Amino acid sequence: MGKLILILGGARSGKSSYAEQIVHERGGNHVLYVATAGARDDEMRERVRKHQQSRPAGWRTLEAEQSVGTAVMTSVGDAGAILIDCLTVLVANTLLAAAGPENDPCGDPGDDPFQQAIEERVKTEVESIIACARELDADVVVVSNEVGMGVVPPYDLGRAYRDLLGRANQVMARHADEVYLLVAGIPMKIK
């Protein structure tokens, strides 16, 4: 059985680079890189392109904006390590699919973002990733933003998102074999 490893940190803290280092050490060229972000505009398409160019050519990429655990189980192949980058975006995808305004993720929500049903969807996503990690021989590395050190968002969709991601991080950390917090590119093992 592989390990479940959680990498936390703020924006641009070095989380993804550190996670890539871990999966490269553990999986070599047999890595499945799971991208949860969709490229919906030119800026995001350029980010995706740069990320893809920086990864070793042998790594396989799986794009999965939701149902990540299921997607990994059907795509794992010969991967010795799996990198899920990132839980932060997966939670946002789940929330916006349920309560986000049509074509305007910064506007008023189309539905109550604090619905218990939305939290259940996020919980299902997290539990699916944990179950996947427990079933595979490959190590599973999950990247996520630590949201508990910032300001309280001024709008309800932002507060709901912060709450959902904070709870998702707690569940993932509780089940993880190892947890690292990155600050200014420096990893600190906290579990």
Residue reference for tokens 């553990």: 26
**Which residues partner with 188 through β-bridges?**
181
Residue reference for tokens 């949201």: 147
CA angle 8, 54, 43 (to 5 degrees): 80
Yes or no: say if 175 and 182 are a contact pair by the CB < 8 Å rule.
no
Residue reference for tokens 């991080």: 169
Give the DSSP per-residue string, 2-64: --EEEEEE-TTSSHHHHHHHHHHHHHTT-EEEEE-----SHHHHHHHHHHHHHS-TT-EEEE-
Of the listed 24, 30, 51, 175, which one is catalytic?
51
Based on the residue annotation, tell me whether 30 is a catalytic residue of this protein. no
Question: Pairing mode, if any, of strands 60-63 and 186-189?
Answer: unpaired
Which residues are part of the catalytic machinery? 51
